[in-house]
Chains A and B, each alone.
Chain A
Amino acid sequence: MIRRITLICTLGLAALLVVVAAGCGGNASGSGDGDSSLTLVAYSTPQEAYEEIIPAFQKTSAGQNVDFEQSYASSGEQSRAVEAGLPADIVAFSLEPDVTRLVDAGLVPADWAQADHDGMVTDSVVVLAVRKGNPKNIQTWDDIVQEGVEVITPNPFTSGGARWNLMAAYGAQIKQGKSEEEAVDFLRQVLEHTAVQDKSARESLQTFTGGKGDVLIAYENEAITAQQKGEELDYVVPDETILIENPVAVTEEASEQAQAFVDFLQGPEAQKIFGEKGYRPVDDEVLGQFDYPQPSGLFTIKDVGGWDAVMTKFFDRDTGLVAKIEADLGVSTESG
């Protein structure tokens, strides 16, 4: 009797496992009555913009009958997921190295950056978000390393986006005519003043609006979104800052509609929606319709060596300059 029960239970469990495995392995196919389906794998910040842009695209002749599957998470996670096999027709990331990873994996054509606008879909700049009314009178990069100023910026090893912040701080020094050593020393001071290194830019914003810190190094679009949502913060665009460029790419396997969608993203209608959500449009004409301040000392990642060089020089987990600075700071705080 007991053996029979064991047998039944075992077979039942085995059957259950098979069902679960089949369920997990199956491809989630798009519901709806569309003729074709596109999968957009994107980082999370522009989700609201895409939720307006996709219906607008579906109203055009190219986008008729196209269904969308959308996935949003942090840029690095999404890039790794696609590398590991998550199906994607279009990828939108917060920084270029996340696309490069897919080029290396053979999933995105190597010439993706030869496309319009060098493969970029939105721009932004790194800004200094401060408390309402700017009580600590933060105007320049130097102000954030003054005595008693607490800085919030995400952990550069967990957040790809945080790398924009630190490269902005570094590059601004170079732009001001300082030497490389002085610029690295400035990075050191910034990290010394950093009280919290959240895992992502989104969480850093929450930490800041939750009452911690005096300055949040942030992207202009995130600061604008926060203000639009009624958060109590101001932001300062420093004279020298980095132009953030967010790439979009079509994968090797993607259908023709995927390219049509990317063209639409870079077209005036979608660019305007991005602009309303706080991003700087890459389309100059559309950009002109908004009054985004033009910092006098604006520079790009290429001016500080380009992503490939920057990733090795600054953000290698063991040998990068930032890893070394943090190790030095750690040792001094542990002994002190």
Chain B
Amino acid sequence: MPQKAAPGGLPLGRSFATAYLGLIVLIPLAAVAWRSTEGGAGGFWRAISSPAAVSSLKLTFVCSLVVVAINAVTGTLIAWVLVRDSFRGKAIVNSLIDLPFALPTIVAGLTLLALYGPKGPIGINVAYTRAAIILALLFVTLPFVVRSVQPVLLELDREMEEAAASLGASSLSIFRRIVLPNLMPAILSGVALAFARSIGEFGSVILISGNIPFQTEVASVHIFSQIESDDVTGAAAVSVLLLVISFVSLLAIDTFRKWGSKHEE
């Protein structure tokens, strides 16, 4: 319930935002954190240091890093094509980008399995391997970088590039010294979102990864297996670790971005 603003205190809008955030985000997260402590410090440590947990966390991070690295390049490229090139059907391609968000992730998993699985029509079978995990993550995180870079690219002053070109700069050095620095903050925010999404992704991965512990079991599936084995406290502990790592990486990328843009001025 919105509270009456204290004299000289928070305006109504801000107090509502705080209450809303608390209700939707902070309280549930606090509940998970609280749950994870039920086994004590020893229980928490056992849960996050069990070989299966460590192996699934490692796999998740390596895959997510690969995914965001690919995303940073391909996402920027796609944004570039969508902004700078004109071709027939561009509007359709542009709307296509958001499709991975609209699709239920389990459907994404099914679709990828049908296409790149043992009975796939194109003869490429990557199902039940680590490559499949990366493929599924690439699919669900595609929009992040594209959608962060696109508006910046639209706003980008082309006169700078033209000036550089008239002064004899090669197109590579124009891209490297003028376009890229301007896009970097946007690429980084896209990367941060994609990374956070990747390490928590469940629906699209579970069908296609094979879920073999120590080989293709990602962290979210490991957490699910803990819940199904009635180890809710352990599941909460691994979840908290995932949350902390996500939060720290988001924070780090944000700091890096701010530092970069300050550096430029």
Contacts and interface: CB of A to CB of B under 8 A. Distances in A.
Interface stretch (A57-65, A153-161, A237-245): A153-161
A195 B229 contact: no
Given A157-B228, A196-B210, A334 B221 contact: no
Nearest to A329: B214
Contacts of A76: 228
A9 B2 CA distance: 12
B228 A159 contact: yes
B80 to A, nearest CB: 37
Q: Residue among A9, A160, A330 with the most chain B CB within 10 A? A: A330
Given A195-B128, A210-B117, A317 B231 contact: yes
Contacts of B214: 326-327, 329-331, 333-334
Contacts of A329: 214
Contacts of A196: 128, 210-212
A122 interface: no
A197 B212 CA distance: 6
Nearest to B128: A196
A214 B13 CA distance: 61
Contacts of B119: 210-211
Interface of A: 3, 6-7, 9-11, 13-14, 17, 76, 80, 101, 155, 157-160, 194-199, 203, 210-212, 315-318, 323, 326-327, 329-331, 333-334
Interface residues of B, number: 37
B155 interface: no
A160 B230 CA distance: 11
A13 B20 contact: yes
Given A10-B12, A14-B2, A329-B214, A160 B228 contact: yes
Interface of B: 1-2, 11-13, 16, 20, 23, 46, 50-52, 55, 113, 117-119, 127-128, 206-207, 210-215, 221, 224-231, 234
A316 B55 CA distance: 18
Given A6-B11, A10-B12, A334-B214, A157 B55 contact: no
A88 B248 CA distance: 42
B214 to A, nearest CB: 2
16 contacts: A6-B13, A9-B13, A17-B23, A76-B228, A80-B227, A157-B213, A157-B226, A158-B211, A195-B212, A197-B210, A199-B224, A210-B118, A327-B214, A330-B52, A334-B55, A334-B214
Contact of B210 (A17, A195, A315): A195
Contacts of B11: 3, 6
B212 A194 contact: yes
Contacts of A334: 55, 214
Contacts of B13: 6, 9-10
Given A197-B210, A197-B211, A212-B128, 9 more contacts: A3-B11, A6-B11, A6-B13, A10-B16, A14-B16, A80-B227, A158-B228, A197-B212, A315-B229
A329 B118 CA distance: 25
Given A76-B228, A326-B213, A327-B51, A212 B127 contact: yes
Contacts of B228: 76, 157-160
Nearest to A9: B13
Contacts of B207: 198, 203
Contact of A317 (B1, B20, B225): B225
Contacts of B128: 195-196, 212
Given A158-B228, A317-B231, A323 B52 contact: yes
A158 B212 contact: no
A3 B12 CA distance: 9
Given A158-B228, A196-B211, A317-B226, A211 B46 contact: no
B51 A330 contact: yes
Contacts of A199: 206, 211, 221, 224
A326 B216 CA distance: 12
Contact of A330 (B23, B55, B117, B221): B55
A155 B128 CA distance: 13
